[in-house]
């Protein structure tokens, strides 16, 4: 059964890259979520004034990978303690957020945050109800693969 999840962890290139590597992920799409401006462009979102964050839409086979396992990769592929952005990217469009579509997703995200906080981490990641997701421009999709570059804007660290 194909399900969809939404994660924002700074630059969407890295978010899409790491989650796209997970066995059971069918497709990823870089885009924008969380704001109120319909059909935002990269130029609009990059001002930090639209309320959107750069995010990845992840379509996955729930018989091969669980939402919890995807959320763990999300937390492990960026710094969920960083406030105000991610890595070298600062501004509200680069915040760490999980957008849930079901109560179960919300509970899973909160549970994982609780686990990390019990390890002494001060988690900055916000958990919010999903709003409309808008795909980013074509040149942002599968950016690292298209440009023959390795992933550099996120750092993987084992947390769970």
Catalytic residues: 11
Instruction: Give the C-alpha separation, 42 to 63, whole Å.
Output: 34
Q: Which residues contact residue 153 at a Cβ distance below 8 angstroms, ignoring those fewer than 6 apart?
A: 10, 11, 13, 14, 86, 87, 88, 89
Place of tokens 């462009």: 41
Q: Are strands 2-9 and 96-100 parallel, antiparallel or unpaired?
A: antiparallel
Q: What are the CA-CA distances from residue 25 to residues 9, 31, 50, 156 (Å)?
A: 18, 17, 29, 18
Residues 7, 29 contacting (CB under 8 angstroms): no
């Amino acid at each position: 059964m194909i399900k969809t999840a939404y994660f924002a962890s700074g630059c969407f290139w890295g978010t899409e890259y790491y989650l796209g590597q997970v066995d059971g992920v069918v497709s990823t799409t870089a885009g924008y979520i969380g704001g109120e401006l319909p059909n935002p462009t990269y130029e609009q979102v990059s001002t930090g004034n639209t309320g959107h964050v750069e995010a990845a839409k992840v379509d996955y086979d729930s018989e091969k990978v669980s939402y919890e396992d995807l959320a763990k990769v999300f937390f492990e592929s960026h710094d969920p303690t960083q406030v105000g952005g991610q890595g070298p990217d600062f501004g509200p469009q680069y915040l760490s957020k999980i957008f849930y579509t079901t109560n179960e997703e919300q509970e899973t995200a909160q549970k994982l945050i609780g686990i990390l906080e019990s390890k002494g981490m001060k988690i900055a990641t916000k958990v919010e109800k999903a709003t409309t997701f808008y795909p980013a421009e074509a040149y942002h999709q599968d950016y690292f693969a298209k440009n023959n570059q390795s992933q550099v804007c996120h750092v993987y660290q084992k947390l769970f």
